[in-house]
């Protein structure tokens, strides 16, 4: 007995030392290691949607899309936030954390790196998983390239020159210098041209380019959430407009408008546009290029939506909005009585509160976009207010493309074609057809219409630049364009990390 | 399979325990091989290193809640931070300085010393939960200090091991040092003892403010910088201040009646021990309640501890210990903590009013919901020891398990009409299996050899399930009900957010230890160990390290005839020990995670309802080739006793370098990454620790004795290397520069104010700028250190230290007959604090202007803290943010001396006479705690500061507590 127990104890010891070499091999449940990725078609799905998610994050981080687009051109002004005041005053190097982060392009390079890795690794999945069809892969690759090109275009508009990096350099990162914006745009255009004919106009519903279901789901699931051929045309048109190549703008906008029907895209009525649960909520075919927040899946939040900046009581429980449009500017922009978005009757009373709620108060609330939760904004004072938003991060819609074509035709001298497109939008908003006597020059009327129609969608600053490039009637702004002051400074942190980068001339 | 096998074996061992008993029940198998070189010989009593071991007898009288509070000022080299007086909140310990910069709460968690209770290395909270948090003020869950699970009445002795020769036996868990708690053991005599104290902490007296006061303060700025009371057209004066007719803001500021209180504290514990030579036990149970003096906070602890030893055969030992605790914590009602918890910031336009009735209304609305925080903790061991002649084999398992439950319901009125419910369940568990063989032999009279071989397997698992939801149907249904199909019924499904996370870590260690002693004069020992961690990368799983130590008993060798010198001992040790990675994903190399959140929405679940994977752009690139981090240490010590140990002392000098540590450095932005997790951080800590005790009067015929003991430690850290050979790096608001300390503030030097345009320097026709913004009158005069006529980061310099350069304590014990008196002081020297609270209060324009969490005004906004009039009157609207925190205007010397305890006791034993009941001893005492603080610091209390050194004003005052207690043995 005595000896047995001793023996047992000694044995135990040896058994334990001898066994269990694998004790220290533990698979993390918190991160997917390299070996467990790129093996099956679910991996390409999560990775591809990851690029979309990163693009959405890049657009809305710190409400960048609206601060770049709507606020910088002083379309709106800040009530009490000092950092936003610095933006409207064009003091973009002022020392606020928001401005540091808005000057930082890292979040766009996350999109680009994710797309680069996707393009480098997607073949591994093709080899490993027989379920992954050639068509599925081609459409996936086209989307990854689309998103990468879109990211570069977005960055060029904001910073001018940016490093063009088109491979992941995984683990062997090297610093790169900036490429000229023109070079980057030319590359982006080539990329989009290369993929535009591969992209379908519908996913999951027997589009000739993408037959059958897409990742096992039908059109209901993919409605308006992925990049389509029409989206590629729209982005190409925007790139061309930014380059000033208006013939191309006319071409791509026409292609887009012609295929709108096959993508189930039509013009949006004013009620649809401004109702809480309609156009800006959820995902829709009409989101020509939009990165949606699907509320039904818990996507959305307090931040990353224009509502955070523009809404106040009675939409949300906030005394005054962060930014607002002063009354005189509103009246200057909406100077036509019959406008269904906003107008004044003969007694000076607002005819509608679709765009501006509580116009008579000191701070009219810009209420065009108000997707609270899934779209249940209410002005009732007895309802509990909840600042949880889910409006789509929208880049463009059909109305934008019509106005872009009008702009192109106007620049190219086809005045009547420009007026026709302009009138499509005007009539949809209750306005009479364009008349030079009341509306001024066609080009001015087009840009004014853009301002009214696309207000709060992140367009105004870029429109202002294109307008001034066409018209040259504002010497201060022309000077800003010539000196590179239309761009944002490169964040100090980026310059610290990568000594090959140079600060934009204007901000040196 | 692999894990199951040892588990099975463990289980069979456990069953075996009930048969067995042994010679040395005091020695757990986990301790058997541990030797502190400060005690050179186990056979002969040599001098103990004074101050390293702390007797629990006196400590148990202190109405402290946590181990950290007990140890404050007791041990040289141990720096303890108590950032809030709220009972049961997290406190930090740093032994021999900090080994890496403290940037996030995870850094702090990873630098905590290991606490070992009877051989069980306790597992702490895992920092992985911070990953899903938008704000990291508190970890999700109970955020209770897990080291509040120690009832000091159960503890016989506390040893703080700092020297690697003692620490290294505990393996890589112990790389930050070890605190060894040894519990009271079962005795052979039947004995009951009862320990208890009752007391109270009086409500603090504070000066309160109301809106009129605030208005008067702000008026100065409007008078000076505006023409018509408005800085610009868009300028807005806050409504709660502008309505002077409102009595709730302008009336009496008496909210303190409902916020502060006289708090009660008590502790009762009793234990029973008894048995025979062959089988004995100790059982204890107790309850401690500690109310906070503010905001109805408090901690309740119920503790049960059970020891049993059995010895069925002469050569076999078995013992079993179980220590169980339940902690119930009543948390504060801070708005900031609530908004951080809910990830939702309601309108901050109308802060809590200073009026008592209005505040009470808010409190009762709050109390219609609940915030229950319960931790249940269980630790125990079972061990088996076989004693042969020179050979000893021991096996044992130890288990430490702690779980946390937090259930929250915030009602509609306190969340602007949207109620909120949250449930958290999480646990950390550690299972340890250790086998040790030891062989010792005496060769002749002079030589003694001991060899130990050991092997340890440790399985750690941390997990949580967490969910929250907004806008439940009403305030009566406080749970998220689900129907048969698991569909949420009472909360909208799209506003329900659920999180699961789990991380495990396995550690496999083998070690060999040999020691040789010659005639009780010289000793030499060598430890060699190999550790394999599952969190290390596959290519470098194993880490091998040696520790060599030597001792020379000078007294025995050369001074045996010197009667004056009763002890003199020299020690030297040098060695290396591996440091663990806390996160399992670092072991994976390049990886993919869900990563599509953005500022203000970090846990965005997916895109179009699908989860996503991408590289860890936000948390940072992890590459291959991450080696083990390790610490290299050299320690030299002298222990001495003079005049029959009337004066005892111990001096330790050390240098310790923590190398190859991971650091999250901002990098690779053009590849999408915010940062990269790179190895190569190296930090050196040098220091000296002195402890002295002197007995000017020893108990003699007069019956008067006085013992005085003093300890002080000095520590200085220095950054030796950054990853990638960088020389300096900016992380957030701090600068790490090779050659400098890692705990310094990086600040602009403030030299006053520009009163007029003419004061502002102009160079080459350009007026001086602050990061691109031209300076104006009313802006601060910051020193242009590099003379480029622009103030920016390059003009910042390093100031002060957030960690104290020197900490220590001073104790005096007097005895006269049956009376005893003791006093205890505690001090920190060479430490600075940034007074963020003051900066916030002066920067009111930016804070009123935004609805961010930094702008939250607590009820304590209406308390006068510090003097705002000591600061220059800058233009608060200026775009340079004149009251920015990163300038030396707000840095203050936070050195302090505190009287921690004063106690008077009387021994009643003999006065009891001979009643029926036999009372062996009875001692009663009265104690006052936290009597006074001497400091230059102008804020609330220099201790109430977070690990970053920023005083945010969120620390609840440390209470002054008066208690009466008794200790009785039956």
Query: DSSP letter at A319?
Result: S
- B contact test, residue of A24, A162, A226, A500 with most B CBs within 10 A: A24
Residues 6+ positions from A183 with CB-CB distance below 8 Å: A164
Quick one: average pLDDT of B518-543?
Answer: 93
* Each residue's pLDDT tens digit, A170-226: 889 999 999 999 999 999 999 999 999 999 999 999 899 999 999 999 999 999 999
Interaxial angle between packed helices A442-453 and A460-471, expressed in degrees from 0 to 180 and rounded to the nearest 10: 170
Is B584 close to A26, i.e. CB distance below 8 A?
yes
Q: Two tokens at B722?
A: 């950054």
Average pLDDT, chain B: 88
In whole angstroms, give the CA distance from residue B772 to residue A256.
44
Between positions 456 and 475 of B, the ones with CB within 8 A of A are: 457, 470-471
* A282 phi-psi bin (left φ>0, alpha ψ -120 to 50, beta other): left
- Residue B820 forms contact with A (CB below 8 Å): no
Chain A residue with Cα closest to B506: A24
Q: Which of A276, A301, A274, A279 is nearest to A290 (CA)?
A: A279
Contacts of A169 in chain B (CB under 8 A): 671
Quick one: average pLDDT of B572-590?
Answer: 92
**Are the C-beta atoms of residues A257 and A402 closer than 8 Å to each other?**
yes
Of A309-313, B131-135, B899-903, the least confident: B131-135
Helix (H) or strand (E) holding A374: none
Res A88: pLDDT: 94
Q: Which of B372, B859, B468, B481 is nearest to A388 (CA)?
A: B468
Quick one: average pLDDT of B914-918?
Answer: 66
- Residue B851 forms contact with A (CB below 8 Å): yes
Of A266-280, A341-355, B37-51, the least confident: B37-51
Res A281: pLDDT: 93
Contacts of A493 in chain B (CB under 8 A): 666, 669, 730
Quick one: average pLDDT of A322-332?
Answer: 94
Cis peptide before A314 (omega within 30 of 0): yes
Contacts of A361 in chain B (CB under 8 A): none
In whole angstroms, give the CA distance from residue B146 to residue B373.
12
Res A386: pLDDT: 92
* Each residue's pLDDT tens digit, B763-808: 988 999 998 788 999 999 999 999 999 998 899 999 999 999 999 9
Res B58: pLDDT: 83
pLDDT at residue B510 above 60? yes
Q: Two tokens at A98?
A: 């928001």
Q: Two tokens at A485?
A: 């002051």
Quick one: average pLDDT of B502-515?
Answer: 94
Q: Which of B388, B292, B349, B295 is nearest to B88 (CA)?
A: B292
In whole angstroms, give the CA distance from residue A395 to residue A237.
13
**Are the C-beta atoms of residues B659 and B718 closer than 8 Å to each other?**
no
Question: Matching CATH topology for A38-198+474-508 and A227-292+394-471?
Answer: yes
Q: Which of A294, A310, A57, A51 is nearest to B600 (CA)?
A: A57
Is B496 close to A383, i.e. CB distance below 8 A?
no
* Each residue's pLDDT tens digit, B614-628: 999 999 999 999 999
Res B773: pLDDT: 84
Contacts of A105 in chain B (CB under 8 A): 669
CATH code that applies to domain A38-198+474-508:
1.25.40.390
pLDDT at residue B371 above 80? yes
Is B600 close to A304, i.e. CB distance below 8 A?
yes
From the list B13, B589, B881, which residue is nearest A34 (CB)?
A: B589
Quick one: average pLDDT of B441-448?
Answer: 90
> What pLDDT band is residue B918 in, cutting at 50, 70 and 90?
confident
> What pLDDT band is residue B849 in, cutting at 50, 70 and 90?
confident
From the list A30, A292, A386, which residue is nearest B470 (CB)?
A: A386
- Residue B495 forms contact with A (CB below 8 Å): yes
pLDDT at residue B588 above 80? yes
Res B190: pLDDT: 85
Closest Cα of chain B to A508: distance in Å? 9
The residue written with tokens 């005795």 in the block is B187
* Each residue's pLDDT tens digit, B685-698: 999 999 999 988 88
Is A16 close to B589, i.e. CB distance below 8 A?
no
Between residues A12 and B456, which one has the greater pLDDT?
A: B456
**Are the C-beta atoms of residues B406 and B142 closer than 8 Å to each other?**
yes
Closest Cα of chain B to A363: distance in Å? 10
H-type helices in B732-835, by residue range? none
CATH code that applies to domain A227-292+394-471:
1.25.40.390
Res A6: pLDDT: 55
- Residue B538 forms contact with A (CB below 8 Å): yes
Res B22: pLDDT: 28
> What pLDDT band is residue B27 in, cutting at 50, 70 and 90?
very low
Between positions 863 and 882 of B, the ones with CB within 8 A of A are: 877, 879-881
Are β-strands A393-396 and A365-366 bridged in parallel, bridged antiparallel, or unpaired?
unpaired
Res A12: pLDDT: 54
Quick one: average pLDDT of B463-492?
Answer: 82
Is B607 close to A225, i.e. CB distance below 8 A?
yes
What is the C-alpha R_g of chain B? Answer: 30
Question: What percent of chain A stands above pLDDT 90?
Answer: 83
From the list A17, A32, A77, which residue is nearest B455 (CB)?
A: A17
Of A47-51, B95-99, B478-482, the least confident: B478-482
The residue written with tokens 């096959």 in the block is A262
Res A42: pLDDT: 94
Q: Please provide the DSSP assignment of B894-961 as one string.
A: --EEEEEEEEEEEE-GGGG-S-SS--SEEEEEEEEEEEEEEE---SS-TT---TTSB--S-SPPPPPE
Between residues B236 and B707, which one has the greater pLDDT?
A: B707
Of A42-51, A370-379, A454-463, B227-236, the least confident: B227-236
- A contact test, residue of B345, B669, B780 with most A CBs within 10 A: B669
In whole angstroms, give the CA distance from residue B98 to residue B103.
12
In whole angstroms, give the CA distance from residue A139 to residue A145.
10
Is A57 close to B672, i.e. CB distance below 8 A?
no
Average pLDDT, chain A: 93
Res B913: pLDDT: 65
**Are the C-beta atoms of residues B382 and B410 closer than 8 Å to each other?**
no
Is B495 close to A373, i.e. CB distance below 8 A?
yes
Residues 6+ positions from B526 with CB-CB distance below 8 Å: B513, B514, B515, B546, B547, B548, B549
> What pLDDT band is residue B31 in, cutting at 50, 70 and 90?
very low
The residues spanned by each domain of chain A are 38-198+474-508, 227-292+394-471, 299-391
Quick one: average pLDDT of B517-529?
Answer: 93
Q: Two tokens at B297?
A: 């906070």
Is B495 close to A388, i.e. CB distance below 8 A?
yes
Q: How many CB pairs under 8 A join A and B?
A: 341
Res A9: pLDDT: 53
């Amino acid at each position: 007995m005595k000896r047995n127990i001793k023996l047992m104890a000694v044995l135990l010891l040896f058994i334990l030392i001898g066994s269990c070499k694998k004790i220290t091999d533990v698979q993390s449940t918190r991160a997917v290691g390299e070996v467990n990725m790129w093996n099956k078609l679910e991996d390409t799905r999560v990775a591809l949607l990851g690029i979309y998610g990163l693009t959405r994050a890049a657009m809305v981080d710190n409400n960048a899309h609206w601060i770049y687009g709507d606020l910088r051109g002083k379309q709106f002004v800040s009530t009490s936030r000092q950092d936003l005041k610095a933006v409207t005053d064009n003091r973009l190097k002022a020392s606020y954390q928001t401005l540091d982060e808005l000057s930082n392009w890292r979040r766009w390079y996350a999109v680009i790196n994710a797309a680069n890795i996707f393009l480098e690794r997607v073949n591994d999945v093709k080899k490993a998983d027989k379920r992954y069809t050639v068509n599925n892969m081609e459409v996936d690759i086209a989307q990854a390239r689309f998103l990468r090109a879109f990211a570069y275009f977005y960055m060029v508009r904001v910073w001018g020159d940016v490093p063009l990096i088109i491979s992941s350099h995984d683990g062997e990162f090297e610093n790169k210098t900036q490429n000229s914006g023109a070079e980057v745009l030319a590359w982006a255009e080539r990329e989009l041209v290369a993929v535009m004919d591969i992209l379908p106009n519908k996913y999951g519903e027997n589009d000739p380019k993408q037959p059958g279901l897409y990742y096992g789901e039908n059109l209901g699931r993919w409605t308006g959430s992925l990049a389509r051929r029409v989206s590629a045309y729209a982005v190409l048109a925007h790139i061309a407009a930014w380059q000033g190549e208006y013939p191309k703008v006319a071409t791509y906008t026409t292609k887009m408008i012609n295929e709108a029907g096959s993508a189930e895209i039509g013009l949006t009525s004013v009620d649809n546009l401004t109702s809480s649960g309609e156009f800006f909520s959820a995902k829709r075919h009409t989101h020509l290029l939009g990165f949606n927040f699907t509320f039904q899946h818990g996507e959305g939040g307090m931040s990353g939506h224009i509502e955070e900046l523009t809404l106040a009581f009675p939409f949300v429980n906030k005394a005054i909005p962060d930014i607002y449009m002063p009354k005189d500017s509103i009246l200057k922009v909406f100077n036509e009585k019959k406008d269904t978005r906003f107008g004044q009757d003969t007694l000076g009373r607002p005819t509608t509160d679709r765009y501006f709620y509580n116009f008579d108060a000191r701070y009219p609330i810009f209420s065009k976009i108000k997707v609270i939760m899934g779209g249940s904004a209410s002005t009732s004072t007895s309802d509990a207010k909840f600042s949880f938003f889910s409006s789509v991060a929208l880049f463009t819609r059909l109305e934008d493309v019509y106005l872009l074509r009008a702009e192109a035709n106007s620049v190219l001298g086809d005045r009547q074609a420009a007026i026709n497109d302009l009138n499509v939008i005007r009539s949809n908003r209750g306005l009479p057809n364009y008349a030079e006597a009341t509306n001024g020059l066609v080009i001015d009327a087009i840009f004014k219409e853009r301002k009214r129609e696309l207000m709060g969608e992140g367009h105004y600053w870029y429109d202002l630049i294109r307008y001034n490039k066409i018209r040259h009637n504002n010497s201060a702004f022309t000077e800003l364009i010539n000196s590179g002051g239309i761009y944002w400074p490169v964040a100090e942190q980026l310059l610290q990390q990568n000594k090959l980068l140079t600060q934009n001339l204007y901000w040196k | 399979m692999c894990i199951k096998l040892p588990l099975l074996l463990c289980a069979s061992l456990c069953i075996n325990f009930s048969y067995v008993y042994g010679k040395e029940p005091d020695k757990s198998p986990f301790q058997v091989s541990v030797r502190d070189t400060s005690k050179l010989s186990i056979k002969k009593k040599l001098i103990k290193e004074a101050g390293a071991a702390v007797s629990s007898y006196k400590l148990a009288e202190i109405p402290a809640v946590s181990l950290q509070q007990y140890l404050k000022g007791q041990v040289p080299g141990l720096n303890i931070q108590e950032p809030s007086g709220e009972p049961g909140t997290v406190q930090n310990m740093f032994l021999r300085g900090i080994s890496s910069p403290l940037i996030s709460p995870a850094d702090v968690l990873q630098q905590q010393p290991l606490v070992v209770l009877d051989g069980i290395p306790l597992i702490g909270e895992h920092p992985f939960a911070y990953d899903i948090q938008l704000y990291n003020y508190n970890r999700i869950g109970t955020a209770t200090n897990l080291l509040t699970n120690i009832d000091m009445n159960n503890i016989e002795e506390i040893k703080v091991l700092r020297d690697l020769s003692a620490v290294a036996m505990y393996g890589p868990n112990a790389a930050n040092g070890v605190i060894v708690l040894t519990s009271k053991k079962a005795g052979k005599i039947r004995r009951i003892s009862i320990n208890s104290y009752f007391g109270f902490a009086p409500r603090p007296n504070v000066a309160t403010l109301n809106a009129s006061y605030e208005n008067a303060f702000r008026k100065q700025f409007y008078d000076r910088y505006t023409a018509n009371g408005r800085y610009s057209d868009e300028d807005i004066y806050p409504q709660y201040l502008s309505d002077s007719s409102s009595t709730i803001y302008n009336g009496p500021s008496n909210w303190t009646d409902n916020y502060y209180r006289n708090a009660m504290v008590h502790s009762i514990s009793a234990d029973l021990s008894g048995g025979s030579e062959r089988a004995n036990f100790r059982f204890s149970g107790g309850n401690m309640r500690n109310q906070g003096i503010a905001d109805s906070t408090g901690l309740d602890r119920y503790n049960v501890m059970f020891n049993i030893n059995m010895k069925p055969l002469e050569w076999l030992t078995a013992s079993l210990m179980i220590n169980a605790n339940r902690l119930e914590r009543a948390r504060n009602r801070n708005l900031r903590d609530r908004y951080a918890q809910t990830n939702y910031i309601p309108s901050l336009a109308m802060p809590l009013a200073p009026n008592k009735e209005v505040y009470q209304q808010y409190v009762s609305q709050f109390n219609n919901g609940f915030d229950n925080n319960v931790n249940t903790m269980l630790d125990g061991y079972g061990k088996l020891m076989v004693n042969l002649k020179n050979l000893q084999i021991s096996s044992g398992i130890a288990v430490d398990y702690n779980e946390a439950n937090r259930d929250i319901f915030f009602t509609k009125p306190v969340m602007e009409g949207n109620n909120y419910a949250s449930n958290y369940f999480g646990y950390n568990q550690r299972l340890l299996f250790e086998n040790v063989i030891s062989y010792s032999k005496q060769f002749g009279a002079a030589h003694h050899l001991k060899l130990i071989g050991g092997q340890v397997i440790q399985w750690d698992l941390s997990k949580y399930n967490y969910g929250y939801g907004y806008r439940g149907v009403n305030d009566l249904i406080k749970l998220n009900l689900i129907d048969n199909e698991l569909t949420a019924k009472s909360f909208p499904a799209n506003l329900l957010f659920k999180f699961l996370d789990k991380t495990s870590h396995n550690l496999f260690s083998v070690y060999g230890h040999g020691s040789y002693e010659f005639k009780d004069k010289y000793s030499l020992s060598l430890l060699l160990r190999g550790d394999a961690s599952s969190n290390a990368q596959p290519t470098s799983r194993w880490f091998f390290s040696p520790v060599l130590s030597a001792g020379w008993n000078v007294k025995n060798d050369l001074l045996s005839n010197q009667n004056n010198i009763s002890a003199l001992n020299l020690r030297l040790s040098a060695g290396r020990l591996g440091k663990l990675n806390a996160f399992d994903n670092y072991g994976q190399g390049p990886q993919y995670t869900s990563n599509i959140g953005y500022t203000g929405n970090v846990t965005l679940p997916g895109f179009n309802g699908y989860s996503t994977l991408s590289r860890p752009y936000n948390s940072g690139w992890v590459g291959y080739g991450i080696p083990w981090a390790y610490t290299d240490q050299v320690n030299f010590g002298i222990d001495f006793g003079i005049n029959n140990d009337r004066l005892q002392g111990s001096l330790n000098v050390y240098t310790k370098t923590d190398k190859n540590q991971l650091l999250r450095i901002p990098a690779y932005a053009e590849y999408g990454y915010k940062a990269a997790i790179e190895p190569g951080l190296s930090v050196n800590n040098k220091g000296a620790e002195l402890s002295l005790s002197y007995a000017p009067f020893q108990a003699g015929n007069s019956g008067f004795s006085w013992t005085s003991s003093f300890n002080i430690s000095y520590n200085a850290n220095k950054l030796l290397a950054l990853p990638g050979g960088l020389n300096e790096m900016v992380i957030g608001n701090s600068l790490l520069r090779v050659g400098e300390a890692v705990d310094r503030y990086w600040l602009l030097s403030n030299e006053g104010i520009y009163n007029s345009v003419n004061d502002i320097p102009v160079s080459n026709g350009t007026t001086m700028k602050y990061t691109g913004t031209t300076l104006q009158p009313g802006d601060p005069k910051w020193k242009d250190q590099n003379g480029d006529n622009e103030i920016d980061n390059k003009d910042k310099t390093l100031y002060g230290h957030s960690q104290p350069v020197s900490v220590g304590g001073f104790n005096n014990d007097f005895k006269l007959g049956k009376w005893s008196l003791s006093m205890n002081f505690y001090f920190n020297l060479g430490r600075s604090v940034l007074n963020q609270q003051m900066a916030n209060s002066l920067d009111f324009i930016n804070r009123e202007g935004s609805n961010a969490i930094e702008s939250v005004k607590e009820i304590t906004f209406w308390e006068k803290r510090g003097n705002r009039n000591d600061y220059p009157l800058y233009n608060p609207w200026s775009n340079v943010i004149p009251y920015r925190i990163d300038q030396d205007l707000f840095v203050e010397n936070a050195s302090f001396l505190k009287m921690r305890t004063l106690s008077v006791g009387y021994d009643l034993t003999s006065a009891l006479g001979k009643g029926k009941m036999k009372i062996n001893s009875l001692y009663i005492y009265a104690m006052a705690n936290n009597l006074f603080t001497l400091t230059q610091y102008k804020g609330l209390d220099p201790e109430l500061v977070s690990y970053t050194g920023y005083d945010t004003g969120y620390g609840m005052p440390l209470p002054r507590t008066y208690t009466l207690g008794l200790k009785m043995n039956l």
